[in-house]
């Protein structure tokens, strides 16, 4: 095998695998934030989805039921967020953090009590997971130079949810920019008063956005526990929800640039996994612990506005109070 090509192909494949949950969660956050609701609870929704998926799949043996449970759990959290922030005009960041902390404790408590494996869920068999899908032609193209290995490693052989994430980007872009719902969504995030005047319910639009976001976060969570891994591990979201939120901000709340930001974070992650133990020019071998911080440092650097300030939806974070 051509080594010169294989290493970049493997890094690209790893990038795709890491990016998938980030893309799903970031697009979920896009709905909420475009409607004017800050969604720092992406982390918690993902973690809840991951736990619900793994627990359900472990009990029923069905990956699809697991996926359904993940979506239900994440949507439920979205509704709680909506109840606090939309119905009761609560602080959106505080509500999101409250959900993140509650879920982090709850998944550990329930996992420990129900499965007795120190907070993990049982290892899932292949039926209870979404396995890799070999796209048609992967085997026959394998002999073709350049194209063969790239197609086999990078495009083919991922699980269903990775392809779903890829489809979600144009789908969300279409929904947000080309449908009546999308127009209302964006309008509610910019100027809820105007939307209200036009006779459209601000609260209802925002709730719809949170439910749509919950569905995508559920997919992201299910990806972690029943597609990428084969069980739920405590705190397995490990900041991915926050990275997704950062990618959304860095992508200026637009689907395609957000995809780009997710791929950038995922690439940084794939590179850091490769760099562990490899001597670098000038600095030598960088300790593993420091390399693991690369995606987080990158997030801070990007958000520091090296590529221009982000312009948020105008009404973001402001509860809408109808005039009395």
Partner 1 sequence: MIAPPRARGGWPRLAAAVLLPAVNLALALALSAVVVVLIGESPWRALRLLVAGAFGGGEAVGYTLYYATSFIFTGLAVAVAFHAGLFNIGAEGQAYLGGLGVTLLCLAAGSWPAAVVLPAAVLMAAAFGAAWAFVPAWLQARRGSHIVITTIMFNFIAAAVMTHLVVNVLIKPGQQSPETREFDPHTWLPQLHEIARGLGLAMPASPVNCSLLVALAAGGLVWLYLWHTRWGYAVRVLGHNETAAVYGGIPPARTVIVVMCISGGLAGLLSLNEVMGVQHRLILNFPGGAGYVGIAVALMGRNHPVGIVLAAVLFGALYQGGSELSFDMPRLTRDMVVVIQGLIILVCGALEHALRRPVEALVSLGGARRSAA
Q: Does 120 bind partner 1 (CB under 8 A)?
A: no
Residue 287 to residue 289: CA distance in whole angstroms: 5
Among the listed residues 10, 11, 59, 112, the single contact to partner 1 using CB under 8 A: 112
Q: Is 113 a binder of partner 1 (CB under 8 A)?
A: yes
295 and 269 in contact (C-beta within 8 Å)? yes
Q: Are 313 and 37 in contact (CB under 8 A)?
A: no
Q: Which is nearer to partner 1, 168 or 247 (CB)?
A: 247
Sequential DSSP letters for 104-154:
HHHHHHHHHHHH-STTPPPPP-GGGS--EEPPTTHHHHTTSTTHHHHIIII
Nearer to partner 1 (CB atom), residue 112 or residue 163:
112
**Under 8 Å CB-to-CB from 69, ≥6 apart: which residues?**
52, 53, 55, 56
State how far the Cα of 104 lies from the Cα of 61, in Å rounded to an integer.
Answer: 24
Print the binding letters for residues 41-80 with partner 1: x by CB under 8 A, - otherwise.
---------------------------------------x
132 binds partner 1 (CB under 8 A): no
Min dist CB 77 to partner 1, Å, is 11
| Residue 84 interacts with partner 1 (CB under 8 A): yes or no | yes
> Does residue 125 interact with partner 1 by CB under 8 A?
no
Q: Among candidates 67, 63, 50, 99, which has minimal Cα distance to 210?
A: 99
CB of 112 to partner 1, least distance (A): 5
> Out of 246, 266, 268, 315, which residue is the one contacting partner 1 (CB under 8 A)?
246
Q: Exactly one of 15, 56, 100, 159 binds partner 1 (CB under 8 A); which one?
A: 100
Taking the complex as a whole, the smallest distance from the CB of residue 16 to partner 1 amounts, in Å, to 23
Contact between 140 and partner 1 by CB under 8 A: the answer reads no
Answer yes or no whether residue 89 interacts with partner 1 by CB under 8 A: yes
Give the binding range for partner 1 (CB under 8 A) out of 5-13, 169-177, 192-200, 242-250.
Answer: 242-250
53, 26, 5, 45: which is closest to 160 by C-alpha?
Answer: 53
Cβ–Cβ under 8 Å, residues 63 and 259: no
């Amino acid at each position: 095998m051509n080594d010169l090509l294989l290493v970049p192909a493997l890094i690209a494949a790893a990038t795709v695998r890491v990016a998938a949950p980030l893309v799903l969660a970031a697009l979920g956050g896009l709905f909420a934030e475009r409607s004017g609701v800050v969604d720092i609870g992406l982390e918690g929704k993902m973690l809840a989805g991951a736990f619900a998926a793994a627990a359900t799949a472990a009990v029923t043996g069905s990956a699809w039921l697991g996926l359904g449970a993940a979506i239900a759990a994440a949507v439920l959290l979205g509704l709680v967020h909506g109840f606090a922030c939309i119905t009761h005009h609560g602080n959106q960041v505080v509500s999101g953090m409250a959900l993140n902390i509650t879920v982090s404790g709850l998944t550990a408590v329930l996992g420990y009590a129900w499965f007795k494996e120190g907070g993990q869920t049982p290892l899932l068999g292949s039926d209870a997971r979404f396995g890799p899908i070999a796209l048609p032609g992967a085997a026959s193209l394998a002999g073709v130079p350049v194209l063969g290995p790239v197609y086999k490693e990078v495009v083919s052989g991922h699980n269903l949810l990775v392809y779903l994430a890829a489809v979600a980007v144009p789908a969300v872009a279409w929904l947000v920019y080309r449908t009546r719902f999308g127009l209302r969504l964006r309008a509610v995030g910019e100027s809820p008063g105007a939307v209200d005047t036009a006779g459209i319910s601000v609260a209802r639009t925002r709730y719809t956005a949170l439910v749509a976001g919950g569905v995508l976060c559920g997919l992201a969570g299910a990806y972690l526990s029943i597609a990428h891994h084969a069980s739920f591990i405590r705190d397995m979201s490990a900041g991915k929800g926050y990275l997704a939120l950062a990618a959304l901000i860095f992508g200026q709340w637009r689907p395609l640039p957000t995809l780009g930001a997710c791929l950038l974070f995922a690439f940084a992650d794939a590179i850091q996994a490769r760099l562990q133990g490899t001597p670098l020019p000038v600095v030598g071998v960088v300790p593993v612990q420091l390399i693991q911080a690369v995606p987080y440092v990158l997030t801070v650097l990007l958000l520091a506005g090296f590529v221009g300030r982000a312009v948020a939806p105008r009404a973001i974070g402001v509860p809408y109070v109808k005039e009395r």
